[in-house]
Amino acid sequence: MKVINFFKNRYIYFTISIAIILTGVVFALTNGIKLDIQFQGGSILKYTYTGTINSEEAAGLIESALGKETTCQEQTVTATNEQLLIISLADNESITSQEQETITSTLMESYPDANLKFAESLSVEPFTGARFFRNGIIAILLSFALILVYVGYRFRKIGGFSAGFMAIVALFHDAFVVTAVFIIFQIPLNDSFIAAVLTIIGFSINDTIVIYDRIRENKTIMGPKTSTEDLVNTSITQSMTRSINTNIAVFASITIVYIFAQIYNIESIKDFALPMMFGTVSGCYSTICIAGPLWTMWKNHEAKVKLKRA
């Protein structure tokens, strides 16, 4: 088996990662970061209708009439086979009765044959949305802390804290990639964002732990005289096929989910599946190309410090 020198190419990998993150930052500064009603606050209106309504066109009409940022989506209720037009208005204040009448009249004038009927309205207060968002971020940060403790304890024989810290760096990389996907594709941050980040964190750390396990085993097999670079390169090479095959299977499954969600226009599934597709690739990449080389750099630095002290 030919051992791939991942450590030698580390700066290429780091450059790719930095470029991806900077792309997300540029899009965030250019287009802004959209928050869903769940996090920002606002109102949701639902109308039943027959025939066909273009959700993007409807959103544009309402936005022109109210001057508020509006998103619309179509949904079919399986149980009753009813068609729903779901209108979301992200705002710091709940919609007024006059604004609701304006929306209804605008839609009825634009789609006179759609048999539009008001179904229900929901409101989310801004402070409630902010609390949801804060709790979601806390959940992500808490998962990082628990992973650091777990990895640090489990791999204490190979420098637990350093292994855990580099795993966290790789996880932050994956979280940034998922966030960049939401920003670039203009997907509002909602509960799908929190779910996607937490799922990718769990998936990615599993891959990283497999490599750390192989490093721990190879340290005994290859002997103490083996350099950290050779130890890590060998361990990653041995684990790489498993990681790639697992990620291909997961990516294919999520892609199928996304395709069906696209066909049936299920926005909530699309908002989760698309970032997951990119996150899956990122999780495999960060495990192989980020965590291992970074840990090697850390161990080499520790060795140099010890040598100077001696």
CA proximity to 178, closest of 200, 208, 147: 200
pLDDT at 278: 95
pLDDT at 132: 80
pLDDT at 254: 95
274/130 Cα distance (integer angstroms): 25
Please report, for the chain, the start and end positions of each structural domain, with discontinuous segments joined by +.
10-36+128-309, 42-123
CA distances from 49 to 83, 87, 122, 143 (A): 6, 13, 19, 43
pLDDT at 286: 95
pLDDT at 171: 94
| Burial of 96 (C-beta count, 10 Å sphere; 0-12/13-18/19+) | exposed
pLDDT at 52: 83
* Cα angle, residue 252 at apex, residues 184 and 13 outer, rounded to 5°: 55
* Cα angle, residue 5 at apex, residues 233 and 277 outer, rounded to 5°: 80
Q: Angle of helix 267-286 relative to helix 10-31, nearest 10 degrees?
A: 150
Topology agreement, domain 10-36+128-309 and domain 42-123: no
Find all residues with CB under 8 Å of 255, minimum gap 6, and list them.
273, 277
42-123, CATH topology level: Alpha-Beta Plaits (3.30.70)
CA distances from 251 to 239, 242, 277 (A): 18, 14, 6
40/113 Cα distance (integer angstroms): 34
pLDDT at 173: 95
pLDDT at 79: 60
154-183 tens-digit pLDDT: 898 887 888 999 999 999 999 999 999 999
Divide the 310 residues of the chain into consecutive groups of 10 and give the mean pLDDT of each group. 89 94 93 82 88 87 88 75 84 80 92 90 74 87 92 86 92 94 90 91 91 92 89 94 92 94 83 94 94 93 83
pLDDT at 310: 66
Burial 244-283 (b: 16+ CB within 10 A, else e): eebbeebbeebeebbeebeeeebbebbbbbbbbbbbbbbb
Which position has the token pair 């209708």? Answer: 49
pTM attached to this predicted model: 0.84
pLDDT at 306: 83
Residue 189 DSSP class: B
Yes or no: say if 242 and 17 are a contact pair by the CB < 8 Å rule: no
Question: Which CATH architecture is the domain 10-36+128-309 placed in?
Answer: Up-down Bundle (1.20)
Which amino acid would we find at residue 252?
A
Q: What backbone torsions phi and psi does residue 120 show, to the nearest 5 degrees?
A: -165, 165
pLDDT at 268: 82
240/8 Cα distance (integer angstroms): 17
**How far does Cα 216 stand from its chain's mean position?**
30
